[in-house]
Copies of this chain bind each other. A is one copy, B any other.
Amino acid sequence: MAKRIITISREFGSGGRFIGEEVAKQLGIKYYDKDIIAQIAEQSGFSAEYIEEKAELSPKKGLLAYAFAGRDITGKSVEDMVYEAQRKVILEIAEKESCVIIGRNADFILKDKDNVLNVFIHGDMPEKVARICKLYNVTEEEAEKMMADIDKRRMTNYRFYTDQKWGMAKNYTLSLNSSELGYDLCEKIIMDCKK
């Protein structure tokens, strides 16, 4: 089988992670999500908890916080070092084997490689809120706050490191509304997209 790399970017609550995990299972290929964090920790020397907070999300204060972050003598902030370690890990993983990679700007990091299918999963508000309430055991109001915060921080991180706008169709090979299409059909379409 030719190598297949599938990156899944997603709105919080859209089920993108679940869909990616199912696709990996059904294709019998590796699934990378939280496990990437341990590898980034090893590469960078930072703790896994610290990386979980920093690697995909912007600082809470948004884009300007990147500009004013403390920098070492090479001009790199801690965020930059974490990002650089993340980039190396993702390139190594994609070199090695077929896999599904969730988030972490993998679409951009791998955009010039062959056999990479970049997918964006988004959804409608009521379904996303209901999913978050169930998964995190929170109220609707809390779910809406979590969603707004996390999507905004993913968006800012993406914007800062890729110079692209998060969620624009043209960054991805394929974008799917999981609320309208359902998870099963999303999985089928992704698997049908052998490039």
Q: How many copies does the complex hold?
A: 2
Look across to chain B and name the residue whose beta carbon is closest to the beta carbon of A195.
B180
CB distance from A185 to the nearest CB of B (A): 7
In the complex, the answer to whether A193 meets B167 with C-beta atoms within 8 Å is no
A153-193 interface bits toward B, Cβ cutoff 8 Å, 1 = contact, 0 = none: 00000000000000111101111110011000100110011
CB distance from A52 to the nearest CB of B (A): 26
Interface size class of A (residues with CB under 8 A): 20 to 34
With a cutoff of 8 Å between Cβ atoms, the chain B residues found around residue A181 in the complex are: 173-174, 193, 195
A31 close to B (CB within 8 Å): no
Residue from A167, A169, A173 having most chain B Cβ neighbours under 10 A: A169
